[in-house]
């Protein structure tokens, strides 16, 4: 593919202000993204859903989470386009303002429909945070340090889920938890005023000949389309683990070892502690190997081992379930490297669009995984949750390993180039 060279720019350090602000932004993002899962029961009860009616609870929670995921998918395209057309900082300001307002509104909802709409708007806002932050950090840091920098962004940010769990434990007020999230967002918005824009973006900003943020460019070039699809597929294990195994850990526990007192919110907390630690360590591992792919392969193999433990006879009680959820989280702590690889695959004029849409496409894959896990295997084929989970995991890991094999190494890649509009059928 033809590229156009750009001018060099000032490089920042790993602990520079852009890295810290991006990490704090993702912290608030994850706080908001996972808060519904943590406060699901009390919040549904608070708007009139009868918690003893399992069908009503499932219907209401599925509607709300699906609307949030739809918002993420739509927002990913919107913010990615804005990030490449108007700048990375435009997204960092606009996205956090939108989901902070949505958080405040969620604190006042009275019906399931209002809840769903509030989470949809929040989802649109949340979609822009990580991609813009990773893009900005990737472009500001030298290539030898950007893997560590983006891992710190994700690792610190993922502790937002842990923070959300303890905020709810301390306040026991789901409405206040949403309002606190809104307040955190507004505070961070003020902190971002002093952050500089990417020099790479400034170089091409006024160039009228370069198409910026055109989502369709991913589909008019065979090589570019292949890279885009592979970048999405290598991230599938994360939401299989989070959205199915850890989220439904109490149901799996009942199938694996019987009576249990698993709290799914607590399981998510343990999972995200593991994910956060893993995301920091994988950046260091990538630096040690001088390879994104070797680090990712290491964590894939850890994921396979953790899955064996989850479904094995070693998983015999609540303590082992919580421990394995933490291990599953750690082994899928490759979110930072996966998003960084997505950003590194594409030129400056498409980088924000790629880095913003790719993780949200993976998040949006959860309903498709649920179709296979729940609708096909359980409802149509009448398998139990244990067998459905195993086969779904085999399918997900097989797809991810194949995608990994064909994904290019990006550790030493120079990001100073733009994508052309060359069409290859």
| Residues 325-372 pLDDT 10s | 999 999 999 998 999 999 999 998 999 999 999 998 998 888 889 889
Count the alpha carbons within 13 Å of 30 in the hemisphere toward its beta carbon: 28
> Would you say 233 and 403 are in contact if contact means Cβ atoms under 8 Å apart?
yes
| Residues 65-95 pLDDT 10s | 889 988 998 999 999 999 888 888 888 889 9
DSSP string, 199-242: HHHHHHHT-TTS--S-GGGGTSBHHHHHHHHHHHHTTHHHHHII
Cα–Cα dist 359/340, whole Å: 10
| Residue 193 DSSP symbol | G
Q: What domain count does the chain have? A: 1
| Residues 245-275 pLDDT 10s | 998 898 899 999 999 999 888 999 999 999 9
Which is it for the CA torsion 375, 380, 386, 389, positive or negative? negative
| Residue 407 DSSP symbol | S
Helix (H, G, I), strand (E, B) or coil at 97: helix
Q: Is residue 350 part of a domain?
A: yes
| Residue 194 DSSP symbol | G
Q: Is residue 7 scored above 50 in pLDDT? A: no
> Would you say 90 and 198 are in contact if contact means Cβ atoms under 8 Å apart?
no
Q: Is residue 424 part of a domain?
A: no
Q: Is residue 390 part of a domain?
A: yes
> Would you say 346 and 415 are in contact if contact means Cβ atoms under 8 Å apart?
no
CATH number of the structural domain spanning residue 362? 1.20.1250.20
Q: Is residue 203 part of a domain?
A: no
SS3 percent helix, strand, coil of the chain, rounded to 5, is: 75, 0, 25
Q: Name the residue with higher pLDDT: 317 or 20.
A: 317
> Would you say 352 and 291 are in contact if contact means Cβ atoms under 8 Å apart?
no
CA distances from 294 to 74, 239, 274, 410 (A): 32, 21, 20, 11
| Residues 152-180 pLDDT 10s | 998 899 899 899 999 999 999 999 999 99
Residues forming beta bridges with residue 5, ordered by sequence position: 417
- Element at 420 (helix H, strand E): none
> Would you say 275 and 326 are in contact if contact means Cβ atoms under 8 Å apart?
no
Q: Is residue 180 part of a domain?
A: yes
Q: Is residue 200 part of a domain?
A: no
Whole-prediction pTM? 0.86
Q: Is residue 205 part of a domain?
A: no
Q: Is residue 404 part of a domain?
A: yes
**What integer best gives the mean pLDDT of the chain?**
89
- Please name the residue ranges forming H helices in 234-317: 236-240, 249-257, 264-289, 292-311
Expressed as residue numbers, the domain containing 229 is 11-192+211-419
DSSP string, 320-383: HHHHHHHHHHHHT--HHHHHHHHHHTS-TTTHHHHHHHHHHHHHTTHHHHHIIIIIIIIIIS--
């Amino acid at each position: 593919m033809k590229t156009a060279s750009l001018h060099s720019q000032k490089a920042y350090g790993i602990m520079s202000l852009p890295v810290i602000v991006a990490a704090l932004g993702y912290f608030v993002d994850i706080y908001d993204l996972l808060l519904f899962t943590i406060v699901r029961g009390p919040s549904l009860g608070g708007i009139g859903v009868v918690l003893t009616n399992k069908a009503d609870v499932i219907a209401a929670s599925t509607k709300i989470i699906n609307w949030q995921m739809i918002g993420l998918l739509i927002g990913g395209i919107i913010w990615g386009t804005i990030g490449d057309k108007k700048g990375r900082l435009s997204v960092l300001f606009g996205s956090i303002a939108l989901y902070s307002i949505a958080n405040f509104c969620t604190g006042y909802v009275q019906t399931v429909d209002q809840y769903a709409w509030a989470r949809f708007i929040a989802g649109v806002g949340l979609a822009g945070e990580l991609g813009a932050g990773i893009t900005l950090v990737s472009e500001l840091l030298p290539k030898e340090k950007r893997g560590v920098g983006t891992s710190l962004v994700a690792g610190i940010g993922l502790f937002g889920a842990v923070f959300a769990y303890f905020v709810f434990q301390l306040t026991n007020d789901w409405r206040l938890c949403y309002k606190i999230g809104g307040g955190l967002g507004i505070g961070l918005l003020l902190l971002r005023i002093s952050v500089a824009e990417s020099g790479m973006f400034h170089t091409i900003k006024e160039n009228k000949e370069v198409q910026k943020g055109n989502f369709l460019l991913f589909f008019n070039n065979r090589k570019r389309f292949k890279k885009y699809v592979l970048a999405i597929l290598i991230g599938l294990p994360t939401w299989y683990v989070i959205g199915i195994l850890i989220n439904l850990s109490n149901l799996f526990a009942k199938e694996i070892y019987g009576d249990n007192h698993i709290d799914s919110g607590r399981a998510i907390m343990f999972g995200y502690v593991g994910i956060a630690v893993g995301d920091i360590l994988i950046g260091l591992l990538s630096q040690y190997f001088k390879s994104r792919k070797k680090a990712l392969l290491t964590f894939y193999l850890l994921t396979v081992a953790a899955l064996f433990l989850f479904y094995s006879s070693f998983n015999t009680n609540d303590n082992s379930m919580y421990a394995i959820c933490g291990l599953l989280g750690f082994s899928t702590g490759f979110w930072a490297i996966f998003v960084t690889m997505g950003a590194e695959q594409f030129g400056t004029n498409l980088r924000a669009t790629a880095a913003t849409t790719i993780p949200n496409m993976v998040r949006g894959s959860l309903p498709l995984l649920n179709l296979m896990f729940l609708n096909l295997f359980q409802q149509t084929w009448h398998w139990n949750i244990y067998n459905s989970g195993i086969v779904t995991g085999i399918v997900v890991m097989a797809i991810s390993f194949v995608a990994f094999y064909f994904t290019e190494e990006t550790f030493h890649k120079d990001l100073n180039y733009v994508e052309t509009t060359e069409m290859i059928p």
